[in-house]
Amino acid sequence: MTSWLGVALLPSPAHQTAAIRLQNDVGGGLALHPPLSPDGNLPHVTVFQGPFLDSLDPSTELDRIVTAVGTSRCIALASAGVVYQPTGWVFLSLERRPLLEKIQQTALEALTPHLDRAAFERSKDVSQFSDEERESFARYGYRYTGAAYAPHITLGRAEETVARELVRSVPGRVHVPEGWVFDRFSFYVMGESGAHAEIVEEVALATRAGSGSPSGVRTR
């Protein structure tokens, strides 16, 4: 059976709250969908997502990713602003640090053997994808890998002209925090429009007391 799952970085509690508030502020009374919530659709930065075969063990692969990346500290990322993404998407864009590229490459190496390629959405309209995004989608079934990788928190989706206008009006209307902190990795069930609907596995980033050595702390 095919399972639609993803790997993500989750923000610290304070920045989770900030992301939910930012979605509301950017929407300005016009609800962006799906709504972010601390009890359901969590704000997150997707590392990779797609359809997987039963051969995938989320616990094993998440541990492998965290161990290979070798970071024990929370990951701080600078905001690159609220941006529009075809079609109808509103993103909080984040800096693309080499560490994030390493995280995604590690995830791809671990997860690619378990992809259910027969479940890729071959009929999806990719006419507004960049060349790099089309190549990524064809190879992995996910738009943002390799050269097309675009770290972001999805703030939601709206009708095309509405999304463009909301993004255009952000400067001077909405305060966008300059820095964001992420303290957990998660394996999650994909919901509406790829949302982070349910945690399957979660590993907190922590440092073993007194040693400074990496130690992933499983919180679920």
Tens-place pLDDT, residues 101-159: 999 999 999 999 999 999 999 898 999 999 999 999 999 999 999 999 999 999 999 99
Helix 98-111 and helix 58-69, axial crossing angle in degrees, nearest 10: 150
Q: How confident is the model at residue 207 (pLDDT cuts 50, 70, 90)?
A: very low
174: which residues sit within 8 A by CB, 6+ positions away?
22, 25, 26, 28, 82
Asked if 133 and 87 count as a contact pair (C-beta separation under 8 A), the reply is no
Asked if 111 and 48 count as a contact pair (C-beta separation under 8 A), the reply is yes
What is the DSSP code (8-state) at residue 54? T
Tens-place pLDDT, residues 8-44: 999 999 999 999 999 999 998 887 999 999 998 999 9
Question: Given the structure tokens 């939910």, which residue do they identify?
Answer: 20
Query: How far from the centroid of its chain's Cα atoms is residue 152's Cα?
Result: 6
Average pLDDT for 54-67: 95
Under CATH, to which class is 3-218 assigned? alpha beta
Strand partners, 216: 205
Task: Specify the pTM.
Answer: 0.91
- Separation CA 151–CA 138 (nearest Å): 19
What's phi and psi for 127, nearest 5 deg? -65, -25
HEC per residue, 25-36? HHHCCCCCECCC
Q: 3-state DSSP helix/strand/coil percent for the chain, to nearest 5?
A: 35, 30, 35
- Separation CA 16–CA 65 (nearest Å): 23
Asked if 158 and 26 count as a contact pair (C-beta separation under 8 A), the reply is no
97: which residues sit within 8 A by CB, 6+ positions away?
77, 151
Element (H, E) at 189: strand 179-190
Residue 218 has pLDDT above 80, yes or no: no
DSSP string, 116-132: -GGGS-TT---TTS-HH
Residue 46 has pLDDT above 60, yes or no: yes
Asked if 193 and 34 count as a contact pair (C-beta separation under 8 A), the reply is yes
Residue 94 has pLDDT above 80, yes or no: yes
